[in-house]
Structure 1
């Protein structure tokens, strides 16, 4: 008889958890759709206003970058 009462309590708890999970799953997609709609309206736009480097400036920039990397590599090995 005691086992039967325990099974009844376990069943009641399981039904309560299932109902709560069901309710939470029904309310969640609506919130997700609202958030997705809000984000879709606010698309960030990036504007870059800079001049392009010439070939000579690119070469100088690459040389400076390589020298900085080599300088850091030799300093870290000491």
Structure 2
């Protein structure tokens, strides 16, 4: 059997199997509780965003052509 000829069928079958297993396991409830010894405090992030202002003049067409 030539695998190159049947690559589309193999891909579609793998996609169907992957989709079916993802739907089958999606309804499973997973409870993950982190142990108290592993809890880490999260620091408040700085919400102000730095701003950069560029005050250079634009190149003329002749200056662009010279580059």
**TM exceeding 0.5:** no
TM-score by length of 1: 0.31
Kindly name which structure, 1 or 2, has the bigger radius of gyration based on alpha carbons.
Answer: 1
TM-score by length of 2: 0.36
